[in-house]
Amino acid sequence: MDRVVVIGGGGHAKVLICVLKKSGYDIAGYTDRQNNGLILGAPYLGNDSILAEMIRKDAGCRAIIGIGKIDASDRRIRLQNELLALGYGFPPVVSPHAVVNEEVRLGAGTAVLDGVVVNSGSQIGRACILNTNSTVEHDCRIGDNVHIAPGVTLSGGVAVGDNCLIGTGANVIQGVGICPNCLIGAGSTVVKDITIPGTYVGNPAKRIR
């Protein structure tokens, strides 16, 4: 059974721990700046400074970033890269209640949560979150450290660049490309290519900053 440490002890970590338990992982515990007590039975291990010592003692231990993402920053992927350099492996984590169809590629450390559907031919980068009940249709290309928030629909052949957040319940029509470092507001609908990084809201989505 793969042993895994969850990095972060907030709300996203809780959801991940639940999925890891259902997927049969042996959860070593979680790290955080503060002790949040047991999270669904997973113990607090300390802050991230314990991670170097931990991988020395247990070379097979793997990790998953349990910090959520509500902006277009690159914090999660930077952290994942630092821990890769320490020797941690980052498995993709897929809920048994998600559907990942044929010819889909999932990058290291990507989490596919309950109710997600990823259709055939899609490629998802590293350290992404495909959050609850989101849909990634066929032949999408998603970069690294992208958060597809709950209830999002990406239609067929959509491309999303690194570090983007596609907010809760947003929709993207078929074939559209969104450049890296964009934030799409909750409930927005993207109907044409976005080529300038920024925050976009509304239907059709327009840039507000």
Ligand X SMILES: CC(=O)SCCNC(=O)CCNC(=O)[C@H](O)C(C)(C)COP(=O)(O)OP(=O)(O)OC[C@H]1O[C@@H](n2cnc3c(N)ncnc32)[C@H](O)[C@@H]1OP(=O)(O)O
In angstroms, rounded to a whole number, what is the distance separating the alpha carbons of residues 209 and 200? 7
18 binds ligand X (CB under 6 A): no
Q: Kindly give the residue spans of alpha helices, DSSP state H, lying in 96-199.
A: none
Token pair, residue 54, equals: 């931990």
95 binds ligand X (CB under 6 A): no
Token pair, residue 201, equals: 């809201």
3-state secondary structure of 203: coil
* Residue 147 annotated as lining a ligand binding site: yes
Binding mask 68-87 for ligand X (x = CB under 6 A): --x-----------------
Please report how many Cα atoms fall inside a 13 Å half-sphere around the Cα of residue 13, on the Cβ side: 26
Map the footprint of ligand X across residues 156-185, applying CB under 6 A.
Answer: 167-168, 183, 185
* CB nearer ligand X, residue 122 or residue 134: 134
Closest CA to 177 of 162, 185, 168, 186: 162
Map the footprint of ligand X across residues 120-159, applying CB under 6 A.
Answer: 131, 149-150
188 binds ligand X (CB under 6 A): yes
| Binding positions for ligand X, rule: CB under 6 A | 70, 131, 149-150, 167-168, 183, 185-188, 199, 201-202, 208
Give the annotated binding-site residues for acetyl-CoA.
147
